Amino acid sequence: MANIKLQPPFVISALLAGRLYRMLEITKVMYISSSNAKCISIRGGDKTAGFKPITEFISDMARDTISISSKINAVALQFSITAVSEKRINIALANYNRVIEKLESNSKAKDISMLIDKLHLKINELKKDQVNYCKSLTILFDDISQGIRAAKVIVTNSRTEASRADEYQANLFSIANDLEGCSDDISNEIKICKTYLDDLKKMTGKQ
């Protein structure tokens, strides 16, 4: 993964949104796989009875992940908005400071200085918002991580149940492999997203 340490926060938040989109797509595939497994478990009756609660858990987990991902995306968007606003204010501050240097009138310089003070206060407010957004993102990512860890354990159990499913065994093993692949892919996306989040924390002064 490319080094993004020097990228501005609004760029990092955009990269985060892109990874979230990929994670959502993977989660949708997981949901479809669990739904297919549920159909097979119903059709198999007693032979596949042990697979049904597993697929229900995976389906619920996938729905929760989609919901949490949407919340993360909304928070990341708000972070991006504050980061863009901060960037614009910093540009304005630089321009005002150049103007003050050229002014000969003390009264006009004083007026601009007061405006500069207000802009600094606004930047502080935006930074506080960004810190709060980072805290929210941390909690939401922890929620997803917990669900995926549980899903990996369940997928392992699904192989045990698939081995008892007689003629449905091959299909259920295939679905178990798909679910495991999705879990691994989502875990990788979460790791990348958390790297972006760590960068955002550093840039907002929240280590």
Tell me: the pLDDT tens digits for 145-184? Answer: 888 888 888 878 888 878 877 888 888 888 888 888 888 9
Count of beta carbons in the 10 Å neighbourhood of residue 71: 15
What's the per-residue H, E or C state across 142-185? HHHHHHHHHHHHHHHHHHHHHCCCHHHHHHHHHHHHHHHHHHHH
**pLDDT class for 105, splitting at 50, 70, 90?**
low
Give how far the C-alpha of residue 29 lies from the chain's centroid of Cα atoms, to the nearest Å: 18
pLDDT value of residue 207: 41
Instruction: List C-alpha distances in Å: 11 to 5, 8, 30, 50.
Output: 11, 5, 29, 47
Contact, 172 vs 48, CB < 8 A?
yes
Task: Give the C-alpha separation, 31 to 116, whole Å.
Answer: 52
pLDDT value of residue 4: 41
DSSP 5: T
3-state secondary structure of 204: coil
Q: What is the mean pLDDT of the chain?
A: 84
Task: Give the C-alpha separation, 59 to 147, whole Å.
Answer: 11
The pTM score is 0.78
9 closest CA partner among 196, 207, 136: 196
pLDDT at 117 over 80: yes
> What are the residue boundaries of the structural domains of the chain, listed by start?
9-83+137-203
Task: Give the C-alpha separation, 158 to 36, whole Å.
Answer: 14
